[in-house]
Amino acid sequence: MSGLDHRLEPEGEIRRFEVINGAMGRRRWSADDRGRILEETLAPGAVVSAVARRHGLTPQQLFTWRRAARKQLETEAPPTFVPAVVVAPEPVETKDPKPRTKRRAARRRTAVIELEASGVTVRIGDGASPATITAVIRALKAPS
């Protein structure tokens, strides 16, 4: 009989209980193990609570790991720049049946930023806030 398996027989009943020897403390996970487990939670159709149960964790612990990993990626990855191409707008011809005597002020064209990433093209018009532009760039960079 090992130190982990004891049987008591009170009043003819057989009951089993386990005695765990040794100091139990906080379980330490290596970065590779955490990464592998987090990768499982990001798979399409994965259920975080099922992954947690399979590895002896709580879903809250996995969500904390995911939040920490996301925060680490944001601080480690500096913003990257893409080549910009400036193209002059094409003039629009208007045909008037009769010439006008008064000259109209030329229409002011607005500046446009055009971003292309992963086959998606986004045009950001004049007056967009830096926060909006940053959010659009992050959305384009985010894995789908």
pTM beyond 0.75 = no
Interacting residues of 57 by C-beta distance below 8 A, sequence separation 6+: 37
C-alpha–C-alpha distance, residues 2 and 29, integer Å: 29
C-alpha–C-alpha distance, residues 68 and 61, integer Å: 11
User: In this predicted model, what pLDDT tens digit does every residue of 80-139 receive, in sequence order?
Assistant: 777 777 777 777 777 666 666 666 655 566 667 787 777 778 888 777 888 888 888 777
C-alpha distances in angstroms, 20 versus 5, 30, 54? 9, 24, 21
Q: What are phi and psi of 47, to 5 degrees?
A: -110, 120
**What proportion of the chain, given as a percentage, has pLDDT over 70?**
68
User: In this predicted model, what pLDDT tens digit does every residue of 36-92 receive, in sequence order?
Assistant: 999 999 899 999 999 999 998 999 999 999 999 888 887 776 667 777 777 777 777
Interacting residues of 125 by C-beta distance below 8 A, sequence separation 6+: 110, 111, 112
5-9: average pLDDT: 55
